[in-house]
Amino acid sequence: MAATALIRQVVIDFICLAIVWLPVLLLHLLGKAFQRGFYCDDASIRYPFKESTVTNVVLYCYSLGLPILSMIIIEIFRWRNNSNNSKRLTRQNSASTINVSSAIRIPSVIAELVHLVAIFLFGAACSQLATDFGKYTIGRLRPHFIAVCQPENFAQLCPLDGPPTYITDYKCTGDDEKLLRESRLSFPSGHSSFSAYTMLFLAFYLQRRMNWSGSKLLRPTIQICVLMLSWYTGLSRVSDYKHHWSDVLSGFLIGAIAASLTALYVSRLFQPSIRRDMALVPQSREDVEMQQNHLQASAGK
């Protein structure tokens, strides 16, 4: 790919990413959740406050690091394998004449990586935008809301022998503004949606690109490990009293839908192409011959 074409693609992709990520940033900085009341007898919001088992730093490290690192490693292996096949084909067809452009060209692996990472981040932004929009619109109280809010005159608002009253006129006395703000953002779970999107997208990517003949179980083993990592993240949000189980379930659904739509309809992963379907290591002599025939036909165009 020519350098100018790649630069133009990167600029356009960056603008599109900024358009989708900007609302997410604005909601995070300026968003105010719907001010929901609570029932005095609602035991689901009276759990103690606990620190997160899977912190935001850990979540972003594995959710972004594992997919991007996997793409870099696998695409480099595929590029080297395809380059070796192209060199063999060139030697076998040295009598052929191929016009080479004098323009500066960038290795195809760089262009492919730029495309994959941009698509991956675009889908992540869509998943996060849907999640945050739900959080600020619904304003559901987290399981540890009472412990963080510490409503003023709570004993008078909710007497032990009183009826199950819905309280809307109350004042929080908690002194941590960040925790108070976060205590109203329970539905849906951001950890669950983000981890589900990134790990499922990685599983889709491995299914399409990691075709190594050395083992039949290596790929599904990696896939189940990354999916279990997302599953554990969601479970920890319930056991840490950060979310209700329905928040986690909704987050998983948002992430799974975003990953499926991004992989199937936005990316080129599942579009039919012999070149993109080339194995990480050719599986047989017939595979090599098929790849060489495809390269020869492409060179003759």
Domain map (residue ranges) of the chain: 3-92+101-299
Four-residue CA torsion sign, 178, 63, 192, 50: negative
Give the model confidence (pLDDT) of 67-125 as tens digits. Answer: 999 999 999 988 888 766 655 555 555 544 444 444 556 677 888 888 899 999 999 99
120: tokens are: 């991956």
Q: How many Å apart are CA 296 and CA 1, to the nearest integer?
A: 19
Beta bridge partners of 2: 105
The region, left, alpha or beta by phi > 0 then psi within -120 to 50, assigned to residue 150 is left
Per-residue pLDDT of the chain (301 residues; tens, 9 = 90+): 566 777 887 888 889 999 999 999 999 999 999 999 999 989 999 999 999 999 999 999 999 999 999 999 999 988 888 766 655 555 555 544 444 444 556 677 888 888 899 999 999 999 999 999 999 999 999 999 999 999 998 888 888 787 888 999 999 999 899 999 999 999 999 999 999 999 999 999 999 988 877 788 999 999 999 999 999 999 999 999 999 999 999 999 999 999 999 999 999 888 765 444 444 444 455 555 655 665 555 555 4
Q: Which of 256, 254, 241 is nearest to 204 (CA)?
A: 256
Q: How many Å apart are CA 168 and CA 158, to the nearest integer?
A: 12
Output the pLDDT for position 290: 58
Q: Which of 209, 203, 204 is nearest to 279 (CA)?
A: 209
Q: Which of 120, 108, 141, 127 is nearest to 275 (CA)?
A: 108
**Prediction pTM value:** 0.83
Q: How many Å apart are CA 274 and CA 294, to the nearest integer?
A: 8
Q: Which residue has the tokens 């090599």?
A: 288
Give the model confidence (pLDDT) of 3-28 as tens digits. Answer: 677 788 788 888 999 999 999 999 99
Helix, strand or coil for residue 276?
Answer: coil
Q: Which residues are catalytic?
A: 191, 243
